Amino acid sequence: MKIFQKEIRLPEYRRGFHLITHIIRNEFPEIREIYKGMLQAFIKHTSASLTINENADPTVRDDFESHFNKMVPENAPYYEHTIEGPDDMPAHLKASILGSSVMIPISKGQMNLGTWQGIYLCEHRDYGGPRTLILTAFGE
């Protein structure tokens, strides 16, 4: 079994849902050395998350942002963790709802995503800064 692991730093993104599939593909060419296996992408932050969804129509990403902002509003009167600003506690909640990692099958040296699937960085802070991912690929 082959195992590869790499830490990559993503550029700073504004708040929202951003496709990063191409960045992972470009920054982690070791995937090509695995015929059959898995890729795990893990984000090392508590106010951003990862998910897989629609990669073609950008309005899907806008709708995600709108929905999550209504589902987890800023300035809820019951938040106690408020020292880092009104977007901080909602960012932690959104990150927990979506999760800190995704698993993608690797087939014939490629991420085996569906035709309309892409990996999103979900930036939940207004100014989250650069984000760090740990990418781990393993298989035959």
- The domain made up of 2-139 has a fold known as Jelly Rolls (2.60.120)
CA distance 123 to 100: 12
Q: Band the pLDDT of 36: cuts 50, 70, 90.
A: very high
Q: How confident is the model at residue 40 (pLDDT cuts 50, 70, 90)?
A: very high
Six token digits for residue 117: 């699937």
Reported as a pLDDT band with limits 50, 70 and 90, residue 114 is: very high
Tens digits of residue pLDDT in 44-85: 999 999 999 999 999 999 999 999 999 999 999 999 999 999
Q: Count CB neighbours of 62 within 10 A.
A: 12
